[in-house]
Amino acid sequence: MAKRLIGDCIFCGLTGVELSKEDVIPRWVRSVLKFTGPVKLTKSRTGEVIQTDETIVLSVRGAVCRTCNNEWLSRLETRVKPLISDAIQGRRAAFSAGDMQTIPATWAVKTALLIELALRGARGDGFAPTSHFRWLYDHREDPCPPPGSQIWISGLDMGGSLVSWSYAGGVFTDELEPPNAYLAHFSIGCLVFTVFGQDFEFFANAGRQLMRCTPPPRFRHHLRSIWPNFKPVRAWPGARQFTRADLTDFCDWRDARFETPSRITVPGVWGVTIVRFE
């Protein structure tokens, strides 16, 4: 039997509780994609294999309590599954604000944060602010992304084998400071999420305004905003999809603009290695 892990839950903040293994890429995704192994998790730049599994598995141990895992996080999965399953499989779909906005956007933030926890040891630290975990917990009954979040979706021609990839970057408003925002891209099957998140507590405590991110213009036809502004989609996937060859360029957002209402911020953006499941 696996050893019991006791510690603090990153979401609800309870201390000395039993922690469980949280599936970052949920089990329902494995059945939707019908992908049979073995699946390798690889660092793109070096080709180093981090793990090999029979099916796509990515989990976090020792950070999420059993209650959070089995209750509200599980409910969020149940709610998002019917909304994004077609897009994950690259099937034709249409999205309206009612079905494709709040739940998929909140789920994307949760997944980006957990991917960061799961992979930081293997690929280096990105940024996952404590305020975001607590926000998701505090809004578990009425899910919504943390203040200052922006979320986009895009389509990927996964070429049959690229079941998931991810990239994380930090954004900082001053090169002398630690990061106070993050940029995360990840794909699940044919659906790509991009999450820009800001440590809203840091900004509030520092008396600063939150930033607004404008993606690099070359991705204008690929990205659809789902949060906070929603662009309805009549036919998905659209004409412009990413291919595997586009991913390295897509992850480079050094020419994105980050602005506050009063001034243009010129922050640093750095990225950690792309990892891919295939």
Positions touching Zn ion (CB under 5 A) are: 9, 11-12, 65, 68
By C-beta, is 70 or 248 nearer to Zn ion? Answer: 70
> Measured from the CB atom, is 25 or 136 closer to Zn ion?
136
- We find the least distance from the C-beta atom of residue 188 to Zn ion, in angstroms, to be 24
Cβ nearer to Zn ion, comparing 135 with 242: 135
Least CB distance from residue 137 to Zn ion, whole Å? 7
Q: Are 194 and 183 in contact (CB under 8 A)?
A: yes
Least distance in angstroms from the C-beta of 16 to Zn ion: 12
Provide the minimum distance between the beta carbon of 6 and Zn ion in the complex, in angstroms, as a whole number: 13
Smaller CB separation from Zn ion, 137 or 270: 137
Which CA distances in Å does 177 have to 126, 170, 173? 14, 11, 8
Q: Which is nearer to Zn ion, 8 or 201 (CB)?
A: 8
State which residue, 65 or 158, has the beta carbon closest to Zn ion: 65
Least distance between Zn ion and beta carbon 4 (Å): 15
Minimum separation from the CB atom of position 65 to Zn ion (A): 3
DSSP per-residue codes, the chain: -PPPEEE--TTT--SSEEEEEEESS-HHHHHHHT--S-EEEEETTT--EEEEESS---EEEEEEEHHHHHTHHHHHHHHHHHHHHHHHTT--EEE-HHHHSHHHHHHHHHHHHHHHHHHHHHH------HHHHHHHHHTTTS--PPTT-EEEEEEEE-TTT--EEEEEEEEESSTTS---EEEEEEEETTEEEEEEEE-HHHHHHTT-PPPEEE--GGGTTT-EEEESS---EEEES-S--EEGGGHHHHT--TT-EEE-SSSEE--EEEEEEEEEE-
Give min distance, CB of 15 to Zn ion, in A.
Answer: 10
For Zn ion, the closer of residues 12 and 251 by Cβ is: 12
Contacts of 10 (CB under 8 A, 6+ apart): 63, 64, 117, 130, 133
